[in-house]
Amino acid sequence: MIGIFDSGVGGMTVARAVEQLCPGYPLVYFGDIARTPYGSKSPETIIRYSRRNTEFLLAQGCELIIIACNSASSTAADALRRHYRAPVLDVIGPATARAVEVSSNGRIGVIGTRATVRSGVYKERILAMAPGDRVFSQACPLLVPLVEEGWLNRRETKMILRKYLHPLRTRQIDTLVLGCTHYPLLSHLIAPRIGRRVTLIDSSIEVARSLREYLTGHPELEKRLYRPGTPGRFFVSDATDAVQNLARTIFGRPINLEKIDV
Ligand code: DGL
């Protein structure tokens, strides 16, 4: 099984992308709804929660872990790799690699939670790959609650987005990394506001592509994980109607959420 964890239900955008790009590899998803959001927590707390989430997934028999949450990827990925033998994929590496590849003017924007922007990881990784590039980051703390409220087309959401994106518009970026699980659900509002010539990088799709590459490079693990027809399981540490609705919006079908204590 492939284990995916997130601070909540937004990481199901990653599970959906994996399901679409890597069919036949059953998933165990864990969304830490009881402790969400991670984006406003300290690094120590995010690392502690991420270790517990990983241990839960390993106990379910997962042999590969994907950190769907950008806040946890940017803060806890190294700590998890040091602690556990199972391979750990995070959303940052694949998204930065794609951003560097597609940007022609070397001016890249990154939007994310406060934790992700504060970590500086996107900038660091982009500059390590393309030292001449310029990276402009913007924390957008109000977007997660708006998505979780289901305000995907509201006037208020459009106004707030315009305000967050304005500083990036003045920087002549040609590529924008959607550095948060929830932002792909707003890409239809982000694209016209940042400008049609700006390429949006969806970290959920990029991590699913990188999983495909990883599996190709590790045929023994790939063989063990390939179990077409085995249904995925979706665990959460709390379940509310809003969470159920968001899961249904992301997958386009009802998702059975199993509530557990971790
Ligand atoms: N999953 C988080 C992320 O991608 C967003 C929600 C949160 O702050 O926990 O950064």
- Tell me the best of 36, 143, 207 to mutate to test the pocket of ligand 1, counting ligand atoms within 8 Å of each CB and taking the most: 36
To which residue do tokens 């699980």 refer? 181
The average pLDDT across 36-52 equals 95
Judgement on whether residues 188 and 101 belong to the same structural domain of the protein: yes
Q: Write out residues with Cβ below 6 Å of ligand 1.
A: 6-8, 10-11, 36-39, 69-71, 113, 116, 144, 180-182
Counting from 1 in the atom list of ligand 1, the atom nearest the Cα of 11 is 1
Residue 81 has pLDDT above 90, yes or no: yes
Say if residue 132 is in the same domain as residue 143. Answer: yes
Encoded tokens for 168? 């990036």
Look at ligand 1, atom 2, and give the residue with the nearest C-alpha: 69
User: Of the residues 164, 182, 203, which one is the last residue of a structural domain?
Assistant: 203
Q: What is the 3-state secondary structure (H, E, C) of 180-228?
A: CCCHHHHHHHHHHHHCCCCEEEEHHHHHHHHHHHHHHHCHHHHHHHCCC
69 is catalytic: yes
Same domain, 55 and 82: yes
Same domain, 199 and 224: no
Query: Can you read off the two tokens belonging to residue 90?
Result: 């995070």
Q: What percent of the chain has pLDDT over 90?
A: 92
Distances (CA, A) of 15 to 64, 172, 209, 233, 243: 13, 32, 12, 11, 15
The CATH number of residue 14's host domain is 3.40.50.1860
Does 98 share its domain with 199?
Answer: yes
Based on the residue annotation, tell me whether 180 is a catalytic residue of this protein: yes
Instruction: Convert the pLDDT of each residue in 109-135 to its tens digit.
Output: 999 999 899 989 999 999 999 999 999
Contact 95, 177 (CB under 8 A): yes
Task: Say whether both 189 and 109 belong to one domain.
Answer: yes
67 DSSP β-pair partners: 5, 90
pLDDT tens digits, 18-40: 999 999 999 999 999 999 999 98
The model's confidence at residue 242, banded by pLDDT at 50, 70 and 90, is: confident
Of 22, 62, 69, 140, the catalytic one is: 69
Ligand 1, atom 6: closest residue by C-alpha:
37
Residue 254 pLDDT level (bands cut at 50, 70, 90): very high
Chain position carrying tokens 């040609």: 174
> What would the mean pLDDT of 47-53 be, rounded to a whole number?
98
Q: How many domains does the chain have?
A: 2
Token digits of residue 28: 């165990």
- 219 CA distance to ligand 1 middle (Å): 32
Q: Whose CA is nearest to atom 9 of ligand 1?
A: 37
Q: Above 90 in pLDDT, residue 54?
A: yes
Q: How far apart are CA 151 and CA 91, in angstroms?
A: 25
Q: Is the pLDDT at 89 greater than 90, yes or no?
A: yes
Decide which of 203, 228, 251 is a domain's last residue: 203
CA distance 35 to 46: 10
77 and 105 fall within a common domain: no
Which residue among 144, 183, 250 is best mutated to probe the pocket of ligand 1, counting the most ligand atoms within 8 A of its Cβ? 144
**Residues 99 and 160 reside in one and the same domain:** yes
What is the rounded (10 degree) CA torsion for 189, 91, 104, 133?
110
Looking at every residue in the chain, the average pLDDT score rounds to 95
Residue 148 pLDDT exceeds 90: no
In this prediction, residue 132 carries a pLDDT of: 96
Are 107 and 233 within one domain?
no
Domain that holds residue 63: 2-90+205-259
Instruction: Give the three-class secondary structure for 119.
Output: helix
| Same domain? 85 vs 138 | no
The residue type found at 45 is: T
Give the SS3 label for residue 236: strand
